[in-house]
Amino acid sequence: MNPLGELYNYSKFMVLFESNKDKPWDSWLDFVKLLVPGKQGVVGLLKTKEGGIYCVFKLSQYINNLIIHESVVMDGLSSLSSYCPHFCKSFGLVDCYRNPETVKKESPFVQKSNIPYMISDKMLLQEYIDKSNKFYNYIKSAKINDDVLFSTIKQVLLGTCMAQRRKQFTHYDLHSLNIMMKKCNKDLVFLYVLDSENQLCVPTLGHYPIIIDYGFSYINDMQDGPLWPTLEHTSSGFVSDRFDPITDPKLFLVTVSYEIKQHRDSAGSRILRKTVRNLFKPLSIEWDCGWDETEQHDAPYEILKIIKKYCNNSVLFNNHPGDCIDLIHSLIILPCDQQDSSSFDISVKTFIKEWSKIEQVITDSFYLLYILRGLVDAARYVRSMYMDSETSASAVKTFTDKLHECINKVAKFCNPKNIKYESMLCSIYVFSSCIEDVYQKFISDRMTTKEKEYNDMPMKTIEHIYAAVDSNLPTEYIYSDKTTICIMDSVNDKSFVFKLEPDEIKKINSIHSFCRGTIMYDIYKDKHMITSQKTI
């Protein structure tokens, strides 16, 4: 039994997706409209031709690897979907052709007369959370009382806790605009089974959150894979190549407590804000947005300082150096390790010298970024071949063919002259390795500083942070025969629903709210003889 009623359309769409994902997307889906965009993405609504089921699509506004990165994160979070409803679910990636000058006001799939070539790209399909509202709108609304907001905060903290424990997940941009709110039975209570010793319950009061937008997120599924996300916001605390257990509760609680205090000057809002200030007082942060307060630059700035003197030889690197670095650093395989960066200058100089030969025949920056992304993808594809002396020559040929194929998608019959393809290939490998060395040193130093501050915090885990919020703002709810308990069992990867007997209801109402979760879980285990397994 699913008390949230969300699985039916998701399951139906997934069946259609698996049957059609290798076909042109518009053979089984229709474009409906664009939705309110995010910071980096173009987001819209599609509908299946068969059955009329809606889904959300997402494209990057820029030429980067945002969509692949979000897909990796959402695929990793899917392992929680059998018991935790707090994360938006994805269906997967499909290929599409899009307008290279995509704006956030019209269909990205329509070719305009002034656009010579559409570009091939990846499009992420994810569930459509219908009849929902932003948590920020809840905060502003006079119709939503404080208790619903505080219940939502607790649900977000415990959902994030489950993802941290299972996947070392960090969202890095967890604020009220990245949380969708859905309605449910007002007597539905969530029981979060974190492990055999920790079970915590939160009355939903008729509302529950779903976290969206994973463009800056980290998840352990990224390990041993490419560094897809940008690192251009490390100064704010967005360190998307690694796990940080404090960032999410910090940014989330600082921002929502600020917004709640701004929009409703109630006793509860003042208690929440004071609690949050006490929790994170040792941290150097901006108290309105939760970002780190530091005079340091972002990690890519350290790269720009080194390569700047060579960028004048390339229009693309001179005008869009950050975008170029984001693409090239996707050759880094996580985790970032110390590398030999002594050849940084020569590798950059060599690569830009060969790259500039492409710029002699193609001048459009968007198409050049597209070609650079294709070049990096080709280099990634042949890397293992190139490192083997017996297949290195074949690797260079394959790289050359793939690069020409990419160029000809946006410039028919174009053949740049005099490129030394092996020099180009070898230099970009060294270039990316040197970037990795700079990143590793810079981010490790930054995290050392942050961890010293974390050690001074009174509560050092998300579980303890939740406990501080709950003890200061307990949810007022009287259990009755109408109460439905939904167990989110992260130990056994299952969810269960059960009702309390009259004597059990009386017992639950008589004890402290912080103890109720464990007592309810014990009641359920006694009834159904579940053997709890302690998490490792």
Strands 188-193 and 484-489, bridge-based pairing? parallel
In this prediction, the residues of the chain whose per-residue pLDDT falls under 70 are 1-8, 37-39, 102-104, 529-536
Cα–Cα dist 88/85, whole Å: 8
Is 476 in contact with 513 (CB distance < 8 Å)?
A: no
Is 173 in contact with 254 (CB distance < 8 Å)?
A: no
Q: Where are the domains of the chain?
A: 7-130, 134-185+205-295+459-472, 299-451
Is 87 in contact with 182 (CB distance < 8 Å)?
A: no
Using DSSP's 3-state secondary structure scheme, residue 387 falls into helix
Secondary element (H or E) of residue 443: helix 421-454
**CATH 3.30.200.20 for the 7-130 domain, yes or no:** yes
Fold of 134-185+205-295+459-472: Transferase(Phosphotransferase); domain 1 (1.10.510)
pLDDT of 531 reads: 47
Using DSSP's 3-state secondary structure scheme, residue 317 falls into helix
pLDDT of 529 reads: 65
Cα–Cα dist 477/473, whole Å: 12
Cα–Cα dist 323/135, whole Å: 32
pLDDT of 412 reads: 87
Nearest to 219 by CA among 437, 439, 323, 71: 71
pLDDT of 536 reads: 35
Cα–Cα dist 73/88, whole Å: 11
Give one DSSP letter per residue of 263-309, joined into a string. Answer: H---HHHHHHHHHHHHHHTTS-B-TTT--B--SPPPHHHHHHHHHHH
pLDDT of 100 reads: 80
pLDDT of 101 reads: 75
Q: What is the pTM of this model?
A: 0.95
DSSP structural state of residue 113: T
pLDDT of 105 reads: 74
Is 245 in contact with 462 (CB distance < 8 Å)?
A: yes
Task: Kindly compute the dihedral angle of the four CA atoms of residues 167, 172, 173, 174, in this order, to the nearest 10 degrees.
Answer: 50
| Structure-block tokens of residue 424 | 């180009």
pLDDT of 304 reads: 94
